[in-house]
């Protein structure tokens, strides 16, 4: 989670080889997800999926902590 967008926060995914000190490490189906401590407070209970449709492919985020979002769907408030 990084600051940005109309609603205040955006999701940010980066490819990393190793976790950083203090990161939470989640592993599912041999995929490791590193979550920094700042982001973790906004991601409890989140569902991340990868979808493909006529508009393209990408990740979707269903976040029960989001209290709002922008019209274009790229940012959220919490």
How many Cα atoms within 13 Å fall on the side-chain side of residue 3?
A: 0
pLDDT at residue number 71: 80
Quote the tokens at residue 37: 């401590």
Strands 47-53 and 31-35: unpaired
Contact 43, 65 (CB under 8 A): yes
Q: What pLDDT, in 10s, does the model give residues 19-28?
A: 999 999 999 8
pLDDT-derived band at 49, boundaries 50, 70, 90: very high
Instruction: Identify the sign of the CA torsion 52, 56, 61, 62.
Output: negative
pTM of the complete model = 0.78
- Which option is the CATH number for 2-77: 3.40.50.2300, 2.60.40.1260, 3.40.640.10, 2.60.300.12? 2.60.300.12
Pairing of strands 68-69, 76-77: antiparallel
């Amino acid at each position: 989670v990084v600051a940005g967008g109309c609603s205040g926060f955006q999701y940010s995914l980066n490819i990393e080889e190793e976790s950083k000190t203090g990161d939470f490490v989640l592993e599912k189906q041999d995929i490791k997800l590193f979550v920094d401590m700042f982001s973790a407070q906004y991601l409890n209970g989140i569902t991340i999926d990868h979808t493909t449709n006529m508009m393209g492919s990408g990740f979707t985020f269903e976040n029960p902590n989001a209290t709002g979002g922008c019209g274009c769907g790229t940012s959220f408030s919490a």
